Every structure is written in C-alpha cells, then in structure tokens.
Structure 1
Amino acid sequence: MRLDTGRLYAAAWRWAPKVPGPVLRAGFTVVSDVCWLLRRGGVDQLERNLARALPDASHRELRRTSRAGMRSYMRYFREAFALAGSTPGQIAARVRLTNVEVVQPFLDEGRSLSLALGHMGNWDLAGAWSSATWMPVVTVAERLRPEEVFQEFLSFRTALGMRILALGDDGVFRDLVRAARAGGSVLPLLADRDLTAHGIEVDLFGERTRVAAGPAALAQMAGVPLFAVAVHYERLRGSRRRAAGSPWGLSVTFSEQIAPDESLPRADRVADMTQRWVDFLGASIRERPEDWHMLQKVFVADLDPVRYAATTAEGA
C-alpha cells in the first residue's frame, strides 16, 4: 500500500494546531529518537556531516550531537505543522535578532537585502516573523515530490505572508532580481547545498562542498547588499516563554555586510562573496552544530565521483 504523503502533510497541518503543545512535543521527540536509534532518515549522513564540523569530537560526543540534531530537525517539522495555530504575538515573542543594526540602515533607505541562509533552526518561523512584524519576504522553495507535498508547503508559507517562487520554474532568478530592485523586502535563500551545475565549490570545515551561487549573484545583479544569517534555537524562560506559548524560540544573527571585492575581476566576485558567507555559516554551525539540519550529502568527498564530474563539466 502506497503512503499518500500529500494527504499526510495536509492532515498534519490541519490537526497539529489542535493538539496540546506538550503532547505534540513529546510525540515528535519520540519520533526523532526512534529515527536516531534505527539510523533512519539520513542519520548516518548527518553524523558524517557533523564529523567535519566537530573534528575533535569523540564517537560518543558525535552520537550525542546527532541525537540532538534529529530532535532539532523534528522540532522544525512540529513547529511548521503547528505554526498556523500561533498568534502574531506568540510568533513575535519567539524571535530575537542579533546584530540587526548592520542591516537596518539599508531597510530604512527602502532597499532590499539578499540573505544567505543554511538549513539551520526554523527558517519558516523566521520568515513568518519577518512578514508579520518586520519586512516582506520573497524567497525560493525547492519543488518537492510528490507535487501534493510541494503544494502543501507552498500554501503554508504563502499563508504566513511570504512570496514563494518555485525552484526550477522559468524566470525565477529574473523575478528575484525584480523583487530586489523594487526595494522594501528581504530575500532569504537557503543556499548551503547545490549539487547542480549552477552551484559553486567552496571550502567548509577544510573540505570542498558545493553551495548555491544565488545569494551573491542576486546581490551583484540587483545591486543590493548581501548578508549571511544564522538561525539557532534557544530555550525560552520567564515572561518571554509565557508570551511565546513555547519553550523554544529563535536567535537570528546577521553577519557583517559581505561587500564585493572591487579589486577582483567581476567574474570572480560572486565566488569570493560566496566563500565569505560560507565562512560565517561554518562558524555558526560549529557554535550550535545540532541545529544544522543537513541530512543529505553536501561534501564533495561523499559524492559519486563520476556523476559529480559530469555535473561540473555541464557547468563549465
């Protein structure tokens, strides 16, 4: 019997907001621990990725971090399914910005921002917060399979106030440039994995990996500033926890501006800017490795060499 994942996701979004928070948290914690124990859902690859971030960690420490990582990953899904039941006040209480003073002057001038994000923390909650209380969000989402699952995620993010463009559709980058040039919005792009011919090979934790050129290319093409963003979970206590209606909030930290190096040839500037936001991302991952939800192959050493060579040849 084939599992209808589209209906499963639709049911989760419909019913999760009605389930008491402690019950929902306990259920998803059980799911994460079972997946971790059975080595399901990419746990082995998660540990291989974390081993790069934590080269001095013992086997026991790595296992402990991967368990915390699976709990963080499932926390993201639990929060996504339940987010529709949150009030604007609860969403506002859950998000805390750090180093926002580096980006605010550009927004005060009416300019847009290109933001490079990794798969860290809960980027949907951060987007919902921005759309409701800060700046409109325009971003790109991977077209998931089956189509029903993608449509559920599309409806979910659109309902939160975000404008979503589907990766792979015609004219996506052109639409991003138009939105950036129009001003008054933030364009956060999940960019820490791109194994297509359009990706850029960079250094992360002393190894080669392939990430998206999008954030830096958008900044260059549209003439908007580029920043990297780290999103981590943080425990809430006291009045903030009561206002949030949750024990978990988010810390959203902005890097310093990643400006193009005018001394470099124009063709090399995107690669240089990409390496610099990856450096920020790497430092952020090492600070809170359990919040890096990278359960897929991302380092070149883990890829099939024949297929990877074909990909790089296609992009040459």
Structure 2
Amino acid sequence: MARKGKFLYLLEYAALKTTLAFFGSMNIDRASDTGGWLGSRIGPRLPFSNRARDNIARAMPELTAEEREHIVTGMWDNLGRTIAEYAHLPVFARPDERHRIDVVNAETVRAVAASGNGGIFVSGHFANWEILPVVMQFEGLAGGEVYRHANNPYVNEWMVSLRKRVTQAVQVRKGAPGVRTLVKLLREDKFIAMLIDQKMNDGVEAKLFGLRAMTTPAPAGLAVRYNVPIFPAWLERVKGATFRVTIYDPITPRPGADPIEDIMRITQELNNFLEARIRERPHEWLWLHNRWTKQKKTRRGRLARQTKKN
C-alpha cells in the first residue's frame, strides 16, 4: 500500500470512527432521528445524488420531478439513519430489544430449519439491510452472510469484525474467493444471506424495471446445484429504529428442468421481486448505485461453466 494511499485510508477510517462516536453518544432512537435529519438535508445537495435522480427517472419515468425529488430526500433520510444505526448495531441483537424487529411469515423458515435443510436468504439495500442476518440469528439459523469487500482495508476490517460479533460469525467475501465457503455451508444444511440488487459486471442479463441489468446468478446457481430454497426477504423501516422483515414463500428449482434455463428463470424472478418491493417503498432503496451501466450480454456457455465450477 502506497504511503499516500495509506494516509487517505486512515483519514477516512478516522472520520468514520468520529462519526460513529458522535452517534454512539446518543441513544439509538435519537441517533437514528439525528442521522435521518442530517442525511435528508445534506445528501440531496451532494453532486453524486444526481446519479440517484437519473436512476429514478430511468426506472420510473412516469414520476414528476417533484416526486423524484421526494424519493431522493427520503432515500437520504433512510441512509442517514442507517449510518447512525451502525453505532448501535449490537442493540438489535439483544433479546430485550427484539421488539424493534417484527418478523412476518417466520414460520415458513422455521419449518425448513426444523426439517434439517438449509437455504438462501436474498434481499436488497432496503431500510437497514444489516437487519436480515440479525433475524437469522434470532431464529437460530446458523450460517453466514456475503459481504462486499470495502476499498478501504481499515474500514473493511472494522465492518467484518462488527458483523461477526453482531450478525453472523461466518463472513463470506463476495466473488470467487467465497464460493467454496458458500458451498460448504449449504452442504452442511446451513443458511446464507446475500444482497443481490447491485450490478455484477460478469453476471447475467436480466430485466429490472424493464431495463437490462447485469445481475448475479449466484443464488439461483447455488439453489439449482444444491437443490435448496431461496427465501426473498423485504425490510421496511416502520418508524425510526424499528423494522418489519417479511419472509416470502421460497423460490425453488424445478425438478428435471434445464439447469441454465432454471437459473435464468430464478434470477429474473428475484429481480421481479426486487422491483415490486422498490415500487412499494422507493424512498427506502439505495438509488445511488450505478445499476444499469451497459454491459455485454453474458453467453449461455459462460454461465454453464460458472455453474459447473460451483
């Protein structure tokens, strides 16, 4: 690591820790409210908020400029709250604070767990997306969660350590290095949590809001390969630092189906799920990601090779 790069990384890390110390000095509810207030007033003024405006316009062109701006402001309110809540993430895992998370349709997951089978939870960057692995812990679902490696190594180490303590002990880095771990977990009939709403350059093409979106085939590929169910999950912010997590009926592989066609079917179903949830509460989704960058269409042969590797 170059000296200049290391200095900048340390500076970013120090800024993060200072911010978290500020929010950590408050109780969780006040921290969430303060984070939302700051986010909604500062965020929309930042230059990269224009990406969110462009994404909303592309995905939902029927909205007026005023409606789009309302979503941007709401997105920043939610993001500000989420950042502030990182200072209190251990609170959500405490038994005496379980009232903060209402789990809908949990019996479906409990039935699968009782049968001794594992599965895959998928969601997107909704509300506070760190809550889903906490729910898995509440329900006694052993396993791991997939994370995206942060560019800043100091921030990454801190994030991984926090998640190990609060959510899932097994942290799986996104990409090829983590595939063996995911396979091991599924073979042991355990559960995996992953967020699937961001662009994957070497993924497969699926539609999202009617637009071409390069999408990860990982959950579908693992489900088909190891015959496990996929549970779509939706996180909503009810009020402040309280949430509702809805677990939907599982999407399962079709017996006897062509594996590649089944992977593509499931991948599209998952994108359809994400789109429907985003439309319901667009202000709670992270619109800042460059989701629809043009990419070359993934060939069937390459997907077949990727599937065999798993």
TM-score under structure 2 normalisation?
0.85
| AA in 2 matched with 1:221 | R
Q: Which runs of no fewer than 5 residues in structure 2 stay unpaired?
A: 1-6, 304-310
Deviation larger for 137-146 or 1-10: 1-10
The 1-side partners of 2:36 and 2:109 are apart by 36
Deviation, structure 1 residue 227: 1.9
Question: 2:308 matched to which residue of 1?
Answer: none
Match of 2:84 among 43, 54, 78: 78
Per-residue CA deviations over 1:57-98 (Å, capped at 9, x if unaligned) read: 211011011100111112111111222355613541111122
Question: 1:231 matched to which residue of 2?
Answer: 235
Question: 1:259 matched to which residue of 2?
Answer: 252
Against the structure 1 CA distance between its residues 16 and 275, is the aligned structure 2 distance closer, same or farther, given a 3 Å change threshold?
A: same
Would you say the 8 A contact 1:91–1:125 is kept in 2? no
| AA in 2 matched with 1:252 | V
**Structure 1 residue ranges (4+ consecutive) displaced by more than 6 angstroms after TM superposition:** none
The 1-side partners of 2:119 and 2:12 are apart by 35
Asked whether 1:270 is paired with 2:270, we answer no
Against the structure 1 CA distance between its residues 262 and 282, is the aligned structure 2 distance closer, same or farther, given a 3 Å change threshold?
A: same
Would you say the 8 A contact 1:18–1:85 is kept in 2? no
Aligned residue for 2:192, secondary structure, equals strand
The 1-side partners of 2:129 and 2:143 are apart by 11
Q: Which runs of no fewer than 5 residues in structure 1 stay unpaired?
A: 236-246
| Aligned Cα root-mean-square deviation (Å) | 2.5
Match of 2:147 among 124, 134, 141: 141
Asked whether 1:125 is paired with 2:118, we answer no
Match of 2:70 among 37, 42, 64: 64
Deviation, structure 1 residue 53: 4.5
Match of 1:189 among 191, 194, 201: 194
Asked whether 1:291 is paired with 2:284, we answer yes
Match of 1:33 among 16, 21, 40: 40
Aligned residue for 1:103, secondary structure, equals helix
The 2-side partners of 1:12 and 1:134 are apart by 32
Would you say the 8 A contact 2:126–2:234 is kept in 1? yes
The 2-side partners of 1:119 and 1:200 are apart by 20
Question: 1:243 matched to which residue of 2?
Answer: none
Per-residue CA deviations over 1:237-270 (Å, capped at 9, x if unaligned) read: xxxxxxxxxx431111222221223464222211
Against the structure 1 CA distance between its residues 269 and 153, is the aligned structure 2 distance closer, same or farther, given a 3 Å change threshold?
A: same
| Residue correspondence of structure 1 range 82-97 to structure 2 within 5 A | 82-85=88-91, 88-97=94-103
Across the two proteins, how many residue pairs are aligned to each other?
Answer: 294
Deviation, structure 1 residue 10: 3.4
Match of 1:218 among 201, 216, 222: 222
Deviation larger for 63-72 or 115-124: 115-124
Question: 2:17 matched to which residue of 1?
Answer: 10
Deviation, structure 1 residue 161: 3.9
Match of 1:174 among 180, 183, 189: 180
Question: 1:112 matched to which residue of 2?
Answer: 118
Would you say the 8 A contact 2:78–2:284 is kept in 1? yes
| AA in 2 matched with 1:32 | G
Per-residue CA deviations over 1:148-197 (Å, capped at 9, x if unaligned) read: 11111101101114121122463x112101111212x3211111123321
TM-score under structure 1 normalisation?
0.83
Question: 2:3 matched to which residue of 1?
Answer: none
Against the structure 1 CA distance between its residues 181 and 216, is the aligned structure 2 distance closer, same or farther, given a 3 Å change threshold?
A: same
| Residue correspondence of structure 1 range 300-315 to structure 2 within 5 A | 303=293, 305=294, 308-309=295-296, 312=298
